[in-house]
Amino acid sequence: MIGYWNGPLGRAIRRPSAPVTYGLIALCCLIFVIGPASGLNPVYGTGDELIAAQRAYFRRWGVVPAELFEGSAGSALTPATALFVHGSWVHLLGNMLFLFVFGVMTEERMGRVQFTLFYLGCGYLALLGYAAANAGSEQSLVGASGAISAVLGAFLYLFPRARVTSLLPFLLFLPLRFPAWVVLPFWATLQWLAAGRAGAGPGVAYLAHLVGFGLGLAYAWARFHRPARVKPAPAPAPEGENQP
């Protein structure tokens, strides 16, 4: 699924300035390019030497659930550092596309500081939740998917009627436009089904996606929900006075 947003009646909305979103994208891309996963940095060598460097790199900067709860300060920081590390070009580009599509409007609605804290906090908690549910795992977990899933959850609450263009494989990748309240719950359902499937594949943290999505939706509701005001009934006119 990829998409863009526009008005509920199809009118294009001015694309707002989003320096935090663009900065996060640039930082993730820079870290990936200079790291061993991109294969572009000759410092890490080639072949088996490169593979060994990648494993060491992911273990150092990614979340290893079995090590996270040992109490060391270094392990406690890994859910934050892992948000900026990606395992492959596909992993990076997919995450950055979703961040670009859904992060811009969410950032403008929240404001730069709030959006930054929201992104980092929800991303950290999403990875922490995954690690807690898989406390014995020795596998490294990297990527911004938990934080970006939180952005999707917030977007769903803030802009439920925004139109999202989706490419659906079972419909021959025809571009179809649906409101966010249809597309994003459908995406979350796919994550839930994948998380419950045995042997879903190493390195795919569907549970982190679900935790992040739920956190983002809950935060947006708590922060931006405005209960409807009930207008007080007009006071009855005193007896003997003419009423309009």
3-state secondary structure of 15: coil
Strand partners, 174: 168
Q: Is residue 1 part of a domain?
A: no
> Catalytic residue numbers?
145, 209
Q: Is residue 181 part of a domain?
A: yes
pLDDT recorded at residue 173: 38
pLDDT recorded at residue 135: 87
Q: Is residue 234 part of a domain?
A: no
- What CATH number is associated with residue 41? 1.20.1540.10
pLDDT recorded at residue 166: 56
Q: Is residue 83 within 8 Å of residue 30, measured between CB atoms?
A: no
Which tokens in the block code for residue 225? 């929900």
Could you tell me the residue range of the domain that residue 111 belongs to? 19-224
Q: Please state, in angstroms and rounded to a whole number, the distance separating the CA atoms of residues 208 and 84.
A: 15
Number of domains in the chain: 1
Q: Is residue 240 part of a domain?
A: no
Q: Is residue 135 part of a domain?
A: yes
Q: Is residue 6 part of a domain?
A: no
Q: Name the residue among 210, 50, 194 with its Cα closest to residue 130.
A: 210
Q: Please state, in angstroms and rounded to a whole number, the distance separating the CA atoms of residues 138 and 68.
A: 10
pLDDT recorded at residue 196: 61
Determine how many CB atoms are found less than 10 A away from the CB of residue 41: 14
Distances (CA, A) of 133 to 126, 144, 158, 202: 11, 18, 29, 15
Which tokens in the block code for residue 71? 């109490």
pLDDT recorded at residue 9: 37
Q: Is residue 239 part of a domain?
A: no
pLDDT recorded at residue 182: 73
Q: Is residue 90 part of a domain?
A: yes
Helices within the chain (DSSP H only): 19-34, 47-61, 65-68, 73-81, 89-110, 112-133, 145-158, 180-195, 206-224
Segments of the chain with pLDDT less than 70? 1-16, 71, 165-179, 194-204, 228-244
Q: Please state, in angstroms and rounded to a whole number, the distance separating the CA atoms of residues 105 and 152.
A: 11
Strand partners, 168: 174
